Amino acid sequence: MYDDEKYMRRCIELARLAAQNGDVPVGALIVKNDSGEIIAEGYNRREADRSSLSHAELIAIDAASKRLGGWRLMGCTLYVTLEPCAMCAGAIVNSRLERLVFGADDMRFGACGSSFDLFAQRLNHVPQVEKGVLKEECAQLLSDFFRQLRKRSGGEGNNG
């Protein structure tokens, strides 16, 4: 029914755009479930925009809301290369996304089960969650990015 790997591959392409612009490589997109159409895309732009709010998920959610003409994204799936943080998980709940599909776990900031699980709280909406789609490719993007960053900064022994 869903072609999760196909959409995640596009998210990986978007994540590479973020990295090219000096941002942590995270890509996201939103698909209308009934048609399979990609209705919005985004990638991290925190450095480019100089804004802590410019996460890939928030950019995609905002674009999808504008495209559909409303804030409720029922019947849609959000794909993202990295497990969403608390801010983005809250936006997923508030926008009523039906599904969340992510690649790599985020043990430090992941709010969908790795660090903690926002969706396990008593909320008025909880999306279906599919994790680990193309996990290795998504995680490798992040590892490569931070390795290059440490090389450039001369801090090969630092953790990021």
First to last CA, the chain: 38
- DSSP tag of 153: H
Of 57, 83, 98, 156, the active-site residue reads: 57
41 is annotated as an active-site residue: no
Helix axes 135-153, 4-20, angle to 10 degrees: 10
Three-class secondary structure assignment of 80-146: EEECCCHHHHHHHHHCCCCEEEEEECCCCCCCECCCCEHHHCCCCCCCEEEECCCHHHHHHHHHHHH
**Residues taking part in catalysis:** 57
